[in-house]
């Protein structure tokens, strides 16, 4: 089944990082990191993660199967639950291009869900976010690591318990 993990466990570390970042001119990348850290405080992460090929925003067969499990899970959450599809990339290519690709991947997952369900999941509000290469899950020096980083995570509001 799908597991729900709190992202709030690192609150103290995140708060310290945000405070440290505020002392410097961190530019766009730093602002993006700050935005992501703020969102993490307000959401839990589901164990379902969608993976992508290099440069692609198209779901593969495993992604479609995971989509079915996610739909079944979301049909059981309370009304008013907010779901955010959060896209990430590896570090191959320009930062801005990766940012756009991350957003495209998140949008592709959300649109696929809407197409499959035909709007039948009306107990949740869905949105997207993309953070490009700023939060790798694995090292980008190998194809395996880069493959892990090309992903869309599913974050769910932690203000409503499921």
Give the model confidence (pLDDT) of 8-49 as tens digits: 555 555 455 555 545 555 555 666 666 666 566 678 889 899
If pLDDT is split at 50, 70 and 90, which confidence band does 157 have?
A: confident
**Tokens found for residue 44:** 């839990």
Non-local (6+) Cβ contacts of 131 within 8 A are: 32, 33, 35, 36, 86, 87, 88, 99, 102
Strand partners, 82: 125
pLDDT in tens, 43-73: 888 989 999 888 888 888 889 899 999 999 9
Residue 135 above 80 pLDDT?
A: yes
Mean pLDDT (whole number) for 109-130: 90
pLDDT of residue 158: 62
Mean pLDDT (whole number) for 106-128: 91
Give percent of the chain above pLDDT 90.
Answer: 49
Q: What's the mean pLDDT when you consider all of the chain?
A: 82
Closest to 63 (Cα-Cα) out of 127, 19, 7, 111: 111
- Domains of the chain (ranges plus CATH)? 45-157 (3.30.1330.60)
If pLDDT is split at 50, 70 and 90, which confidence band does 162 have?
A: very low
pTM summary value: 0.79
Strand partners, 32: none
- Going by the DSSP 8-state scheme, the letter that residue 124 receives in this structure is E
Burial of 19-43, coded b for 16+ CB within 10 Å and e otherwise, reads eeeeeeeeeeeeebbbebbeebeeb
Is residue 102 a contact partner of residue 89, using CB atoms and an 8 Å limit? yes
pLDDT of residue 123: 87
Helix 27-42 to helix 11-22 angle (10° resolution) is 150
């Amino acid at each position: 089944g799908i597991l729900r993990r709190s992202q709030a466990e690192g609150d103290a570390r995140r708060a310290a990082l945000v405070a440290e970042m505020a002392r410097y001119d961190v530019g766009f990348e730093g602002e993006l990191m700050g935005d992501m850290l703020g969102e993490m405080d307000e959401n839990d992460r589901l164990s379902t993660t969608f993976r992508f090929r290099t440069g692609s925003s198209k779901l593969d067969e495993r992604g479609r199967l995971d989509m079915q499990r996610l739909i079944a899970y979301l049909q059981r959450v309370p009304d008013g639950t907010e779901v955010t599809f959060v896209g990430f990339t590896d570090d191959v290519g320009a930062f801005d291009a990766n940012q756009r690709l991350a957003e495209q991947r998140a949008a592709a997952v959300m649109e696929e869900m809407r197409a499959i369900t035909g709007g039948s999941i009306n107990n949740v509000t869905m949105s997207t976010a993309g953070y490009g290469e700023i939060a790798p899950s694995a090292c980008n020096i190998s194809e395996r690591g880069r493959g892990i980083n090309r992903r869309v995570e599913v974050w769910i509001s932690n203000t409503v318990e499921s």
